[in-house]
Amino acid sequence: MLLAALMVPVGKANCAPSAPLVAAGSTGEAIFQKGVLGSGEPLEAMHDGGVNLRGAAAACMNCHRRSGLGSKEGNSSIPPITGRYLFHPRADSPDDLDIPYIPGMRTNREPYTDATIARAVREGVDSQGKPLSNLMPQYALNDTDMAALIGYLKHLDRRTPVGVTDTVLHFATIITPDADPVKRRGMLDVLKQYFADKNVFPLGATPPLRSSRKMMFMVNRRWELHVWELSGPPGTWHEQLRRYLAQQPVLAVLSGLGGKNWAPVHEFCEQEAVPCLFPNVEVPVETDHDFYSVYFSKGVLLEADLLAGRILDEAGSKPAHAVKKVWQIYRAGDSGEQGAQALAAALKGHGIAVANRALARDAGVARATHGIARGDVLVLWLRPADIAALGHLPPPSDTVFMSGLLGGLDDTPLSASWRGVTRLAYPFDLPDGRRVRVDYAFGWFSIRKIPMVAPQVQADTYLACGLLAETLSHMVDAFGREYLIERIQDMLERRILTGYYPRLTLAPGQHFASKGGYIVRFSEPDRVGFVADGKWTVP
């Protein structure tokens, strides 16, 4: 919460601590991000009300965010505290400004100095000697730690924006070699058309490079898309991505498409501090400490959580002897293997035996169903081709679950004989519930003659593009990578058109915007559509 009121009027704000992110590269960074002093001792602070803060709970980043550019929610503002905002000369009118607009900035006061920053931190008074808001704690920093913190603030936003020129914003999308070629085509159709539309100005006129000073010198920049296609084994992807990034630095990675392994891409973006915004992946990376990667959903990992909750609930309502075994069938090396591992881990310790049957590349699915009893639970982590191959077999169990994400969702080719006993993990809103929210995207596809070959992936890609456009319009010219992530977090909750998802939110420290899903069953009498088999559940 350090400096939480250096330029902010008294008000309320939510400054809940977020998880520590990366190991400190300097004492100033450690104080700011983790609440750790140069001695290794925890940072301590006190509010006027006598509330003591310690360690991570006292870190500046909790309120001023990782970028140092603060945040705004309702009538409450947490101001920017990077060097160019703290030390900027007094400006009594917008015409005197030569720095990008940030919500909460105050430029009509005397600039700070090293001495007045130290006084603000220790005593709670601003650059003009006036009391700061009671949001601002007071810190007993020694001179060495104070100098380190002030030095960190001075350099926090001095980096030249990466992937940004006076006229162009550069973005990349990343495609792994095992990505579905149909989904690849659908995603790229949407991305390329969206960028083309974004770069067409009304009436074909070229806008002025800069608008008036009162608009904080917003620049209308062209968007440029770079498609980074990966090849070969995952161990080589980091070097391929490094070369791509060196050849053309980008502000962010937008959308993208992965197969069974997205982890090398995730790790590269974290290491290089490149925002990776809403890639289309079935197995995202779960982490408590990374910052730059955000996803719409946990994919098959969310499905595993939903299935575990349902299996345990139903097992709890039966006599112990009636719960026999959970069988899982998946293709070895496919995304379903990681879903099966997650489900087995969730069930471990609850007294339910789990048996896995991994299908080799050329193995048929029929043999994998042998030996499963009627009272057992069968979980299918299979693609449509394998689902269709089950059609001539009777279901071996009366309780079957399957991955909706892998099995084709609304278009799953599950046969009629299986539909009466099968329920799906469904990490999206139901078709009737999402219809209004996806109609706009589908209409856009139709008008622009984009074939709908992978509707959910294409809708998510369109949603990611729209979120980026809205966020950039509010960022004006403050093109920091950390600030981009933070602004998306702030804005996402107010988004009305959320595509396949009933609600999207990203609090600081969160990486998955949609938190829940349904268990669904096939509706009677024809068993074509879906109905919810229970409420929307957030595991």
Q: Are residues 218 and 230 in the same domain?
A: yes
Tally of domains within the chain: 3
Shared-domain flag, residues 177 and 267: yes
% of the chain at pLDDT higher than 70: 88
Query: Residue 16: inside a domain, yes or no?
Result: no
Q: Are 330 and 340 in contact (CB under 8 A)?
A: yes
Shared domain for 282 and 311, answered yes or no, is: no
Residue 236 has pLDDT above 50, yes or no: yes
Q: Are 402 and 523 within one domain? A: yes
**Average per-residue pLDDT for the chain:** 88
Residues 187 and 272 in one domain: yes
Band (pLDDT 50/70/90 cuts) for residue 155 is confident
Distances, alpha carbon 437 to alpha carbons 191, 295, 447, 498, in Å: 19, 19, 17, 6
C-alpha triplet 134, 138, 140: angle, nearest 5°: 175
500 falls within a domain: no
Mean pLDDT over residues 157-167, rounded?
85
Residue 383 included in any domain = yes
CATH classification of the domain holding 463: 3.40.50.2300
Q: How far apart are CA 444 and CA 438, in angstroms?
A: 10
* Vertex 266: Cα angle to 268 and 226 (nearest 5): 70
User: Residues, the chain, total?
Assistant: 539
The pLDDT tens digits of the residues spanning 497-519 come to 999 999 999 998 899 999 999 99
Say whether pLDDT at 1 is over 60: no
Q: Indicate the residue among 155, 178, 206 that finishes a domain.
A: 155
Asked whether residue 242 is assigned to any structural domain, the reply reads: yes
Q: How far apart are the first and last CA of the chain?
A: 31
Per-residue DSSP letters for 47-102?
Answer: -TTS-EEEGGGG-THHHHTTTS--EEETTEEE---SHHHHSPPP-SSGGG--S---
Do 148 and 206 belong to one domain? no
Domain boundary among 120, 155, 190: 155
Each residue's pLDDT tens digit, 309-368:
999 999 886 654 556 799 999 999 999 999 999 999 999 989 898 999 999 988 999 999
The boundaries of the domain holding residue 456 are 168-297+432-492
Nearest to 456 by CA among 257, 167, 254: 257
What pLDDT sits at residue 365?
94
The upper half-sphere exposure of residue 409, i.e. CA atoms within 13 Å in the direction of its Cβ, equals 17
Higher pLDDT: 166 or 108? It is 166
- pLDDT band per the 50, 70, 90 thresholds, residue 25: low
Inside any domain, residue 538: no
Per-residue pLDDT at 288? 83
- Under 8 Å between Cβ of 32 and 155: no
* pLDDT tops 80 at residue 9: no
> Exposed, middle or buried, 198 (CB in 10 Å: 0-12/13-18/19+)?
middle
Looking at the fold, whether 312 and 291 belong to one and the same domain comes out as: no
Query: Which pLDDT does position 78 carry in this prediction?
Result: 83
Q: Are 426 and 409 in contact (CB under 8 A)?
A: yes
Q: Tell me the pLDDT tens digit for each residue of 455-489.
A: 999 999 999 999 999 999 888 788 999 999 999 99
DSSP collapsed to 3 states, 368-400? HHCCCCCCCEEEEECCHHHHHHCCCCCCCCCEE
Q: Give yes or no: residues 339 and 383 share one domain.
A: yes
Q: Is residue 8 part of a domain?
A: no
Segment 102-115 shows an average pLDDT of: 86
111 is a domain residue: yes
> Are 416 and 337 within one domain?
yes
* Separation of alpha carbons 163 and 51, rounded Å: 43
Which among 155, 182, 206 is the end of a domain?
Answer: 155
Residue reference for tokens 């792994």? 176
Which 3 state secondary structure label does DSSP give 331?
Answer: strand
Q: What is the mean pLDDT of residues 23-28?
A: 68
Return the ∠ at Cα 409 (arms to 404 and 410), rounded to 5°: 145
pLDDT of residue 5: 45
Q: Among the residues of 275-325, which ranges form H helices?
A: 300-316
Judge contact between 186 and 457, C-beta under 8 A. yes
The per-residue pLDDT for 458 is 98
pLDDT digit string, tens, across residues 32-54: 999 999 999 999 988 776 778 89
Residue 524 confidence class, pLDDT cut points 50, 70, 90: confident
359-400 pLDDT tens trace: 998 899 999 999 999 999 999 999 999 999 999 899 999 999
8 A C-beta contact, residue 520 and residue 404: yes
Residues 49 and 77 in one domain: yes
Q: Are 256 and 170 in contact (CB under 8 A)?
A: no
**In percent, how much of the chain has pLDDT > 90?**
66
Q: Are residues 212 and 238 in the same domain?
A: yes
Q: Note whether residue 109 is domain-resident.
A: yes
Q: Are residues 318 and 207 in the same domain?
A: no
The answer on pLDDT for 522 being more than 50 is yes
